Structure 1
Amino acid sequence: MSDLIRAPGEARRRRPADGHGDALGTAAARAHARARPARARSGRWTAWAFLAPVLAYLVLFYAYPLYRNLDLSLRNYTVRSFVRGGAPFTGAKNYTTVVHDPIFVPALVHTMVFTLVSLAFQFTIGMGLAVFFSRHFRLSATLRALFLVPWLLPLIVSASTWSWMLNSDSGVVNAMLHRLGIGPVNWLTSPQWSLASVIIANIWIGVPFNLVVLYSGLQTIPVSLYEAAALDGANGWQRFWRVTFPLLRPVSAITLLLGLIYTLKVFDIIWIMTRGGPAGSSTTFATWSYRLGFGTLLPSFGPGAAVGNLLIVIALVFGLLYIRLQRRRQSI
């Protein structure tokens, strides 16, 4: 019996003596060690294969256009050199030309006014509509879908419609003002009203975007918080300022940032309705850049690209400010 009990132990003690088991274990370990780098390389190639389409898209449609625009702004391009190449390098001369141009300050002011006023009204109206539709009354989904129509229409259609509505002679807006006993307003041909006209059209187009994003943010707020606030005696206005608005702050921040970037580069609406006039009264950086680069028989590609780069810098500054505010909020 003792021999039987000792047998397995002795077998285990005798097994290394022949060296066969050790050889098999060592070979398996070496094979596993060789296979590990191969699997790692295979995983890296797979990751690069998935990233390749994204990287190609970013290079072709973001990096290369930005590089070309920067190159345009640093050289004295003419139509001939634009086609054949060989434009002389001028450094920051195009930027100096743009800054000292008499149009620069009015265009900067118009860009800021157009952007800030549009953002303020788009966000305020969008927030009000989002809170209104969050009550889920009958036909709320249908009405919400109808409010998306301005956002879904092509910009050329929306701008052309507003041009017809604000026409001084045959526009429906002046017809309504006439019935109210108010004289006609030269919405698109008066320097006092042209900027306001394009702002009104842009607000109408941008409200649906704010409505959709803010409404989605409202759906993430628990109903129990509103019930608790109501039990504490808070009225509707107090529930909005103490519950809705603070919890909606991250969504509001990204909505304002995206709206800012979009509004800074608005070109279609202004160009179709007023072409930046009359007398430059509705000229922004976007329309000015287009006019410099493509709006004349002798285009100024360098200054036009410089104005476009200034728009990019403005948007980048606000984007970095948003990132900094987000990091500060997360660290608190």
Structure 2
Amino acid sequence: MSLHTMITPDTEAIVTGAPLSRRRRQLRKAGESYGFLAPTLLLLFVLMIVPIVMVIGYSFQDRAVMGASSGFVGLANYVEVLSDPGFWKATGNTLYFTGVSVAAHLVIGLTFAMLLNSTLIGVVPRAIFRALYVLPWLFTAAVIAVLWRMLLAPNGIVNFLLTTDVEWLASPQLALGTVTFVNIWAGYPFFMVSLLAGLQGIPGELNEAATVDGANGPQRFWNVTIPQLRPIIVSLLLLDFIWTSQQFALIWMTTGGGPIDVTEVLSTFTYKLAFAQYDFAVAATSAVLVLLMSMVLAVLYVRHQKARD
């Protein structure tokens, strides 16, 4: 048997170097892809990974300030934070503030989304209502805080219309509920826009088939609309719970966590530890605990997205 007959197409490709050139092209494409990602990955590393690692390191030190500390203390800071009544008070306020806000965002957002998706409203009024309903989402937290502080002032428009003289943001009985109401007003458009997109993606044949089968409005809502929107609703609830539980600017600029500690949440509690008491190690410990809570929700969200895909 001659050498020519022993060379197969595969061995000929290896001899001529075709697979090697293909491999080089694949490596070059991969290198280009990672090259485009490199600036973003570098920013994430510098602005996210490094600070997180530093904060975790501070949580095991004693009064760490800008890299200087008086020594490693192990879990002592965690014991101190978890035994602090103020931490649990802030946790309870955070759960109330977040739970009520997220539930109200869902109800109000779904109601307005169904209203805007209804054929009972003309095209022009529908466009006007969409612009009006989405306005709160366009304002920053600073603008919202200043606006509502003016409206809820003792001599503001709210007390004028209600003919009362109530300290809405300074009353221990009303402050937390008032701040929660402001957050609800500011956040429902996110649900409204997302659910409106979901409603417009529901095939009309499903509602027509349910109507032919004798289903009334509420039955079509619970058996057609809600099942079609369930993936979107679950995603929105998880995302909104993560975002709302970390709300800081709105509360800090309206009540500052007061009066006393009525509106103190985990974000303002941690901020005060760091920049009012200058106890950066304990503040870092509180931040790590908040991070762990957020990671639980993030894992649930990622698992839901994978299951949905």
TM, length-normalised to structure 1: 0.83
Q: In the alignment, which residue of structure 1 is the partner of 2:90?
A: 107
- Residue 81 of structure 2 is aligned with which of 98, 111, 118? 98
The one of 106, 125, 128 equivalent to 1:142 is 128
What residue number does 1:312 align with? 291
Structure 2 equivalent of residue 12 of structure 1: none
Q: Which consecutive residues of structure 2, in runs of 5 or more, have no partner in the other structure?
A: none
What amino acid does structure 2 have at the position aligned with 1:61? L
Give the structure 1 partner of residue 110 of structure 2: 127
Letter in 1 for 2:136: P
Q: CA–CA distance in 1 between the matches of 2:308 and 2:21?
A: 46
1:39 pairs, out of 25, 33, 44, with 25
**Distance (Å, rounded) in 1 between the aligned partners of 2:256 and 2:158:** 20
Of 223, 232, 247, which aligns to 1:242?
A: 223
Matching residue within 59, 82, 85 for 1:73? 59
Which residue of 200, 206, 209 corresponds with 1:228? 209
* Deviation sequence 1:109-153 (CA, Å, 0-9, x none): 101000000001111000101111112532212321222211111
Q: Deviations over 1:258-304 (max 9, x none)?
A: 1001100111111111111111011010110111111x2x4111111
Distance 2:67 2:59 in 1: 17
* 1:175 CA drift (Å): 1.4
Deviation at 1:322, TM superposition (A): 3.9
How far off is 1:199 after superposition? 0.2
Tell me: CA distance 1:84–1:75, structure 2 relative to 1, closer, same or farther (3 Å): closer
Cα pair distance change 1:300/1:242, threshold 3 Å:
same
SS of structure 2 residue aligned to 1:103: helix
- Give the Å deviation of 1:101: 1.4
Range with greater deviation from structure 2 (86-95 or 303-312)? 86-95
Secondary structure of 2:118's match? coil
The Cα RMSD (Å) is 2.5
Q: Which residue of 2 aligns with 1:299?
A: 278
- TM-score with structure 2 length normalisation? 0.89
1:173 aligns with 2:185: no
- Matched-pair identity in %: 37
Query: 2: CA distance between counterparts of 1:44 and 1:247?
Result: 39
**Which position in structure 2 is the counterpart of 1:155?**
141
Partner of 1:11: none
Q: Is the 8 A contact 2:62 2:69 kept in 1?
A: no
Q: Distance in 2 between matches of 1:104 and 1:322?
A: 26
Residues 304 and 52 of structure 1: CA distance in aligned 2, closer, same or farther (over 3 Å): same
3-state SS of 2:85 partner: coil
In structure 2, what is the Cα distance between the partners aligned to 1:172 and 1:33?
Answer: 76
Looking at both structures, which has the greater relative contact order when contacts are Cα pairs under 8 Å and sequence separation is at least 6? 2
* 1-structure distance, mates of 2:111, 2:12: 72
Deviation at 1:231, TM superposition (A): 1.6
Q: Which has the larger radius of gyration?
A: 1
Aligned pairs, how many? 303
Tell me the CA shift for residue 161 of structure 1: 1.0
Instruction: Measure, in 2, the Cα distance between the counterparts of 1:36 and 1:273.
Output: 62
Spell out the pairing of 1:253-292 with structure 2 (5 A cutoff): 253-292=234-273
8 Å contact from structure 1 (residues 94, 302) kept in 2 = yes
Q: How much has 1:320 moved relative to structure 2?
A: 2.5
Does residue 48 (structure 1) correspond to residue 34 (structure 2)? The answer is yes
CA 1:329 to 1:29, structure 2 compared with 1: closer, same or farther past 3 Å? closer
Q: CA 1:245 to 1:51, structure 2 compared with 1: closer, same or farther past 3 Å?
A: same
Aligned residue in 2 for 1:202: 183
Q: Any unmatched runs of 5+ in structure 1?
A: 1-15
Give distance in 2, aligned partners of 1:118 and 1:313.
21
Do the aligned partners of residues 234 and 74 (structure 1) sit closer, same or farther apart at CA in structure 2, a change above 3 Å counting? Answer: same
Deviations 1:220-263 (A, max 9, x none): 11011111112222222211111111110000011111100110
